[in-house]
Structure 1
Amino acid sequence: MSIRNVVSREGGSPSVEDAILDAARSCILDFGLRRTTLAEVARRAGVSRPTVYRRWADTRAVVTDLLTREIAAAIPAFSSDESLHRQLVEAVVEVSTKMREHALFVKILQSDQELFTPYILERLGTSQKVIIERVAHAVSAGQQQGSIRSGDSRHIAVMVLLIAQSAVQSGAMVAEEIPGRSLTRQVRNAIGAYLAPDNHPQT
């Protein structure tokens, strides 16, 4: 969820924004990103085009917030009453698996890969920042708990993002070498070992 969405939702219009994002999702699944227009998004959302343009300047901006919403919704809450190491490992495995199979992400990766290029090579996107913030918070709590290794929690969170992101974006590329279930197992092993507490067995 972007800062813009948080503000507007607090302002009392979540149904309009969600309707627009849902409509954008529908358009992309039907037409692909290139053929999706704000006019069609507005029509499917049942709102006027100015209503959409007041919130987003173009289709790419709508899609960016849509992807952020989808990813944020997939990240579970963490509890300090249980092992943060175990919770975080399972969360990364679950979210990366969901994203590899998510209809919207699959569609974009198949037909409009260039949308992701800036966020792979040049800069962090909003959804990536959301992931880093949530993972860093869980890592910090896990370090206090003793279930996650020492180190800068934000740096650790960035590395967790890079591992998971690679599995999501390159899963199809290595499918013949590492089929889906095996890839999931390898992601679990990689994250589990990386987060394991210093000089302690994994929890």
Structure 2
Amino acid sequence: MSSCNEGSDQSTVDDLILDAARSCVLDFGLRRTTLAEVARRAGVSRPTVYRRWPDTRAVVADLLTREIHVVIPGIVGDEPARIQLVRAVVEVATGMREHPLYMKILRSDPDLIMTYVIERLGTSQREIVERVSLAVAAGQVDGSIRVGDPAHIAAMVLLIAQSTVQSAGMVAEVLPADELSAELQIAIDSYLAPELAPSLAQ
């Protein structure tokens, strides 16, 4: 086997392996993806892969983190932070519902997804919470987002948005994709707005 790519810098090799893992999962599903096939497609030796990831799930977990990182927009410009954050959350949720890799894993190996729904936060989820926390803090400064612990608010935003990604199919008959995005926008915007109804604030 040729190992010419192993002379590349580490980030390049990592990307080659993650790209190969992506193609394997899309072709075979997670359960049938092997590190040997990932190494073959990446053009590297199996030890090169094993030095970085102990098993297929570890590779795919980092792959999901990379894929989610790509679709997370930044909070920049002069618009109020709440407007930008709401738009970003809806865009990310919509993007994940249409993401071929995420949907393939959700269908072929839902146990991996459920690990991060029920048991613990994954790396990508922690990154989302951190980014949302920063946006919430910025919104509290500009007055567009209500008071409260930014991390707590960010975690709740994650839970709301995550449910619309994972359970969209369950309600598709009564809440089609476009309407789901619109309702998510209303839900997140209302949750972040600085003024709560008196009955809810008490």
* TM-score normalised by L of structure 1: 0.90
Give CA-to-partner distance per residue, 1:4-51, whole Å, 9 cap, x none: xxxxxxxx5211101100110000000000000000001111111011
Q: Secondary structure at the match of 1:24?
A: helix
1:123-138 alignment runs, 5 A limit: 123-138=120-135
Aligned residue in 2 for 1:79: 76
Give CA-to-partner distance per residue, 1:126-157, whole Å, 9 cap, x none: 11101000000110011011111110000000
Aligned residue in 1 for 2:116: 119
- CA RMSD in angstroms, aligned pairs only: 1.3
Unmatched runs of 5 consecutive residues or more in structure 2: 1-8, 198-202
Structure 1 contact 146–197 (Cα < 8 Å) conserved: yes
Using CA pairs under 8 Å that are at least 6 residues apart, name the structure with larger relative contact order, 1 or 2: 1
Aligned residue in 1 for 2:182: 185
Q: In structure 2, what residue type is equivalent to 1:22?
A: D
Q: In structure 2, what residue type is equivalent to 1:185?
A: A
Q: 1:102 aligns with which of 99, 108, 132?
A: 99
Q: Secondary structure at the match of 1:116?
A: helix
Q: How many residues align?
A: 189
Q: 2:38 aligns with which of 7, 20, 41?
A: 41
Q: CA deviation at 1:79?
A: 1.6
Aligned residue in 1 for 2:85: 88
Structure 1 contact 80–141 (Cα < 8 Å) conserved: no
Instruction: Tell me, in whole angstroms, the C-alpha distance in 2 between the residues paired with 1:192 and 1:130.
Output: 21
Q: CA deviation at 1:199?
A: 6.3
Instruction: Tell me, in whole angstroms, the C-alpha distance in 2 between the residues paired with 1:136 and 1:103.
Output: 28
Runs of 4+ displaced beyond 6 Å: none
Q: In structure 2, what residue type is equivalent to 1:67?
A: L
Q: CA deviation at 1:103?
A: 0.2
Unmatched runs of 5 consecutive residues or more in structure 1: 1-11
Structure 1 contact 25–66 (Cα < 8 Å) conserved: yes
Instruction: Tell me, in whole angstroms, the C-alpha distance in 2 between the residues paired with 1:164 and 1:90.
Output: 12
Instruction: Tell me, in whole angstroms, the C-alpha distance in 1 between the residues paired with 2:174 and 2:54.
Output: 42
Instruction: Tell me, in whole angstroms, the C-alpha distance in 1 between the residues paired with 2:82 and 2:124.
Output: 22
Structure 1 contact 24–62 (Cα < 8 Å) conserved: yes
Instruction: Tell me, in whole angstroms, the C-alpha distance in 2 between the residues paired with 1:28 and 1:118.
Output: 18
Q: Secondary structure at the match of 2:121?
A: coil
Percent sequence identity over matched residues? Answer: 66
Q: In structure 2, what residue type is equivalent to 1:81?
A: D
Q: 2:22 aligns with which of 6, 13, 25?
A: 25
Greater C-alpha Rg: 2
Judging changes above 3 Å, is the alpha-carbon distance between structure 1 residues 199 and 121 closer, same or farther for their aligned structure 2 residues? closer
